[in-house]
Amino acid sequence: MSDFRIKSVIRKRVKFIYLLCCALVIITVAGAFFNRGERPHAYKISLSIGHTGETLFEKKITPGNRLILEYIHSADGTPVSSLFEIETDGLMLIEERYSWYGSGLESGSGYSFLFEGDNVIISGYSRLFTDLPLRVARTVNQKIIFEDEVVNVNELAPGGTLIIISVVKY
């Protein structure tokens, strides 16, 4: 083999090794940039006692899912159903349903009102609660309804207990 041919083969191999090294560096840098070692965040709903932080209930959730808080209004005795969308930073109040207007219930607030059967449906809130405080009722049932589960709040803590409902990243 001639000297010229040997040098040509060596140049090609050096060039190949150089390009291979450059490609590996680019792939490594791109991988580090796009995947910073973080896994996708997971979220859960947490119900905890307000003054101690003791967890009473937890459920894995997906942002965008919804939950319903059902209770009987303390002053008017009307059933109330509040629909929340689960966000990454809290619970977004979407709408409320009840049988009649009463003390502490929305009326004439500029939101959308719809009368459906015996219910008034108020929507258009878009009100975010990073933490939703809920006092456990002493005389009526309160429920949190998920797509696949119903939680009876009154079974978690005695009446009068302050419960904080929050979305937690873990």
Q: Are residues 140 and 119 in the same domain?
A: yes
Q: Are residues 132 and 49 in the same domain?
A: yes
Res 101: pLDDT: 61
How many structural domains are present in the chain? 2
Give the burial class of 48: count Cβ atoms within 10 A of its Cβ; 0-12 exposed, 13-18 middle, 19 or more buried: buried
Question: What are 84's strand-pairing partners?
Answer: 67, 93
Instruction: Please give the distance of CA 70 from its chain centroid, rounded to a whole number.
Output: 19
Q: Are residues 18 and 52 in the same domain?
A: no
- Structure tokens given for 41: 């965040």
pLDDT per residue as tens, the chain (170 positions):
566 677 676 777 767 777 766 667 677 666 655 655 555 689 999 999 999 999 999 999 999 999 999 988 777 778 889 999 999 999 999 998 888 765 556 555 666 777 788 887 888 778 899 999 999 998 889 999 998 899 999 999 999 999 999 999 98
Q: Are residues 82 and 131 in the same domain?
A: yes
3-state secondary structure of 27: helix
The range of the structural domain enclosing residue 93 comes to 43-169
Q: Are residues 12 and 51 in the same domain?
A: no
Task: Please state, as a whole number, how many other Cβ atoms lie within 10 Å of the Cβ of residue 65.
Answer: 14
Q: Are residues 34 and 49 in the same domain?
A: no
3-state secondary structure of 87: strand
Q: Are residues 120 and 85 in the same domain?
A: yes
Res 4: pLDDT: 65
Q: Are residues 11 and 85 in the same domain?
A: no
Res 164: pLDDT: 97
Res 41: pLDDT: 80
Task: Please state, as a whole number, how many other Cβ atoms lie within 10 Å of the Cβ of residue 28.
Answer: 10
